[in-house]
């Protein structure tokens, strides 16, 4: 077994935090992303940082050479506004997982982790804000979110069959709405917590006491702080769990609740304007963590209030650091 660990999508939000934790554990890390290094969310001098397009088979072969473990977090994705309007681009991420799995088998990789998503779940289970927490078996019969969700579910199945046919040990986690500092907070790919933190920060700094909320504010979600996500990811990789498992928080809140928490952190109250024709996704989504808790004793331990406070302070600093004209 080689001691080198590969993280793909390392220039992204979750990938950057994962690289940081792996380095802290003393592991040798090869960090790969398609973006120029200047655009990575976090860069660590202790890692072997590479730029590569992992949709290409040759790039995958080079990335896994001499590697013992692979964490595949690379995909073309964003918040609901992005994935609703870029379904083909999201689907093309299947090339990454396909070629990485093939390269991993050829390179005798010990273990392969795939970062999946709660978007694999059928919409029929998510039609009410008072949603019943989603269990892993609720992904079938299959009718995932169009585009992004189908790519994730198909890639999960590939992991399963590469284990069955080639003996590659695979692990799959279904992430539920991960948020935290050092993530995308503007530009169209940001997710709800980061977008709301940005809007509240702009309202605070510009003294404009209003906020636009996508949807009617009554849709519900659970949100997972990035540290909990990374710790759960590492635990799943080290476990004997060969089937996909939820990795999320079970604390269900409305989007209005989310806004209220960030308002409290910022110390302001805003007039709410609802954009009901904006993309909002399913009506309600929550994570059932029973399987992961029973198997390895893992549950998130960061409260939403605590996680949002760290996230808001970081986003506010980024907004404040913009050129003065951007805040005028």
Backbone angles phi, psi at 274, to 5 degrees: -100, 125
CATH number of the domain where residue 164 is located: 3.40.50.720
Residue 326 reports pLDDT greater than 60:
no
Helix orientation angle between 255-266 and 192-206, rounded to the nearest 10 degrees: 40
pLDDT tens readout for residues 34-88: 999 999 999 999 999 999 999 999 999 999 999 999 999 998 765 566 666 678 8
- Quick one: which of 34, 5, 36 has its CA closest to 21? 5
Residue 327 reports pLDDT greater than 60:
no
The mean pLDDT of 209-236, rounded to a whole number, is 95
Which domain covers residue 191, as residue numbers? 184-222+251-288+303-327
Residue 312 reports pLDDT greater than 90:
yes
What pTM, to 2 d.p., does this model score? 0.93
Give the count of beta carbons closer than 10 Å to the beta carbon of residue 24: 10
Strands 252-254 and 220-222: antiparallel
User: What is the full DSSP assignment across 243-306?
Assistant: S-EEES---EEEHHHHHHHHHHHHT---EEEEETTS----SB--B--HHHHHHH-------HHH
Q: Assess whether 101 and 74 both reside in one domain.
A: yes
Q: Assess whether 195 and 283 both reside in one domain.
A: yes
What is the number of domains present in the chain?
Answer: 2
Q: Assess whether 155 and 284 both reside in one domain.
A: no
Give the count of beta carbons closer than 10 Å to the beta carbon of residue 165: 9
Q: Assess whether 94 and 63 both reside in one domain.
A: yes
CATH number of the domain where residue 255 is located: 3.90.25.10
Q: Assess whether 281 and 153 both reside in one domain.
A: no
293 domain-assigned:
no
Lowest-confidence range among 24-28, 82-86, 126-130, 248-252? 82-86
Residue 328 reports pLDDT greater than 50:
no
217 domain-assigned:
yes
Q: Assess whether 167 and 30 both reside in one domain.
A: yes
297 domain-assigned:
no
Among the listed residues 71, 121, 148, 312, the single catalytic one is 148
309 domain-assigned:
yes
Q: Assess whether 141 and 228 both reside in one domain.
A: yes
pLDDT tens readout for residues 1-38: 468 999 999 999 999 999 999 999 999 999 999 999 99
Percent of the chain at pLDDT > 70 equals 95
Q: Assess whether 86 and 158 both reside in one domain.
A: yes
Percent of the chain at pLDDT > 90 equals 79
Residue 112 pairs in a beta bridge with 70, 170
Query: 272: pLDDT confidence band, cut at 50, 70 and 90?
Result: very high
Q: Catalytic annotation on 179?
A: no
Q: Assess whether 236 and 93 both reside in one domain.
A: yes
Q: Assess whether 119 and 23 both reside in one domain.
A: yes
């Amino acid at each position: 077994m080689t001691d080198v660990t590969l993280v793909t999508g390392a220039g992204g939000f979750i990938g950057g935090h994962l690289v940081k934790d792996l380095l802290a554990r003393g592991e040798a890390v090869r960090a790969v992303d398609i973006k120029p290094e200047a655009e990575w969310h976090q860069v660590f001098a202790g890692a072997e940082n590479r730029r590569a397009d992992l949709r290409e088979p040759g790039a995958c072969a080079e990335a896994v050479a001499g590697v013992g473990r692979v964490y595949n977090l690379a995909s073309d994705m964003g918040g609901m506004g992005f994935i609703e309007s870029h379904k083909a681009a999201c689907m093309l991420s299947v090339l990454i997982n396909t070629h990485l799995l093939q390269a991993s088998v050829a390179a005798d990789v010990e273990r392969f982790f795939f970062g999946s998503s709660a978007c694999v779940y059928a919409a029929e289970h998510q039609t009410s804000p008072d949603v019943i927490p989603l269990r892993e078996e609720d992904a079938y019969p299959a009718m995932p979110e169009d585009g992004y969700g189908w790519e994730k579910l198909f890639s999960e199945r590939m992991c399963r069959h590469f284990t069955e046919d080639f003996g590659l040990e695979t692990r799959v986690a279904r992430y539920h709405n991960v948020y935290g500092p050092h993530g995308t907070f503007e530009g169209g790919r940001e997710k709800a917590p980061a977008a709301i933190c940005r809007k509240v920060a702009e309202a605070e700094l510009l003294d404009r006491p209003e906020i636009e909320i996508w949807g009617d504010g009554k849709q519900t979600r659970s949100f997972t702080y990035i540290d909990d996500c990374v710790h759960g990811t590492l635990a799943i990789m080290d476990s004997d769990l060969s089937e996909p498992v939820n990795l999320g928080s079970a604390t269900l809140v409305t989007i209005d609740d989310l806004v209220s928490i960030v308002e409290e952190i910022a110390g302001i109250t805003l007039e709410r304007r609802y954009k009901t024709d904006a993309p909002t996704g399913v009506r309600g989504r929550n994570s059932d963590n029973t399987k992961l808790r029973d198997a390895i004793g893992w549950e998130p331990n960061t409260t939403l209030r605590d996680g949002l406070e760290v996230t808001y302070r970081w986003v506010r600093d980024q907004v404040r650091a913009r050129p003065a004209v951007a805040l005028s």
